[in-house]
């Protein structure tokens, strides 16, 4: 199996501010396109991205997104430059027939979302409805919100869309 076939699509969401964070943490969040709280970014699971997530694990939560949630995120929250919605006409201009086809390409890591040209490389989300279930200062393993949460990221994204 090739490296491309094993790749997974990961979504990272910033849940905490960095006022007292280190310079390295602020720079890493900038490289991940997570400039503000409640911003989400789509990445793949290569080792460089996983290392960046581990470096800022106190400020973000991440996990593997499902194809259905990815499609919903693209439909409702994807934006073009100038805060315009993602349209079928633009997708045809860049070579995709529909949002389903684009979601499939991103989910299977055949296309990098942040390099699609005129598309904003992050998603602006609402705070989760009914709030975070735990403290954003603790990891998911300790009953909080930050860190790796696996497939349970879909529940959080659904509440934030």
Structural domains of the chain, with CATH? 3-66+123-160 (3.30.1390.20), 67-115 (1.10.15)
Alpha helices in 63-152 (DSSP H): 67-77, 88-93, 99-107
CA 146 – CA 133 distance, rounded (Å): 11
**Band of residue 143 on the pLDDT scale cut at 50, 70, 90:** confident
Check residue 2 and give its pLDDT.
47
Please report, for the chain, how many H helices and E strands are present, in that order: 7, 7
- Tokens describing residue 71: 């499609």
pLDDT in tens, 75-131: 898 898 888 888 888 888 888 888 888 888 888 888 888 888 888 999 999 999 988
Check residue 5 and give its pLDDT.
52
Listed in sequence order, the residues at least 6 apart from 15 whose beta carbon sits closer than 8 Å to its beta carbon are 37, 38, 59, 60, 61, 132, 136, 145, 146
Q: Whose CA is closest to 75, among 117, 103, 44? A: 103
Check residue 38 and give its pLDDT.
92
- Helices 153-160, 67-77: axis angle to 10 degrees equals 20
């Amino acid at each position: 199996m090739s490296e491309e076939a094993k790749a997974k699509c990961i979504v990272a969401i910033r849940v905490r501010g960095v006022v007292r964070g280190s310079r390295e943490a602020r720079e890493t969040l900038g490289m991940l396109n997570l400039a503000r709280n409640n911003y989400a970014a789509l990445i793949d699971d290569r080792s460089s991205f996983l290392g960046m997530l581990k470096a800022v694990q106190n400020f973000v939560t991440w996990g593997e997104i499902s194809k259905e949630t990815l499609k919903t995120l693209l439909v409702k929250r994807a934006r073009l430059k100038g805060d315009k919605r993602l349209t079928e006409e633009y997708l045809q201009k860049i070579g995709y027939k529909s949002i389903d086809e684009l979601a499939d390409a991103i989910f299977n890591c055949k296309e990098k979302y942040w390099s699609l040209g005129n598309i904003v490389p992050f998603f602006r989300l609402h705070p989760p409805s009914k709030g975070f279930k735990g403290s954003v200062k603790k990891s998911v393993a300790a009953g909080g919100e930050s860190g790796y949460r696996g497939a349970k990221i879909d529940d959080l994204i659904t509440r934030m869309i």
